[in-house]
Amino acid sequence: MNFYAKPGNDFSTAMAYLGFVGFVIPYAFAIAALVTGRTDDRWIRINAAGHWWPGCSLSIGLCLGCMGYDVLAGAAIGAGIR
C-alpha cells in the first residue's frame, strides 16, 4: 500500500512544517527579551497567540502523520527487519 493512500498523510508533512516554522517567531521574541534584559511578562502577553497556532498546527501534523506508521511497519516486516 502506498504511504499517501492513507487519508491525512498528504497534509501531515505540511502541517508539521507550519508548526515547526511557526515557532520561530515566539522563539525570537523570547531570545530578544533575554538579550535586551526585559524579563517581565510583557513579551509573553504580546506573543501569547504566537504559541497557540504553531502548537495546534504541529499537533495536527503529528497526529495525521501517525496514520502512516502501519504502512511503514508492514514494509519493514516485508523486508525482513525485526
pLDDT at 64: 80
| Model confidence at 3: pLDDT above 60 | no
Q: Model pTM?
A: 0.63
Within 10 angstroms of residue 61's Cβ, the number of other Cβ atoms is 21
Residues spanned by the domain of 42: 9-78
pLDDT at 78: 58
| Total of domains in the chain | 1
Domain membership of residue 31 (yes or no) is yes
For 53-78, what is the mean pLDDT?
Answer: 74
28 compared with 46, residue with greater pLDDT: 28
pLDDT at 49: 73
29 compared with 68, residue with greater pLDDT: 29
Domain membership of residue 1 (yes or no) is no
CA–CA gap between residue 60 and residue 17 (Å, rounded): 11
Query: Are the beta carbons of 57 and 19 closer than 8 angstroms?
Result: yes
Domain membership of residue 3 (yes or no) is no
Domain membership of residue 70 (yes or no) is yes
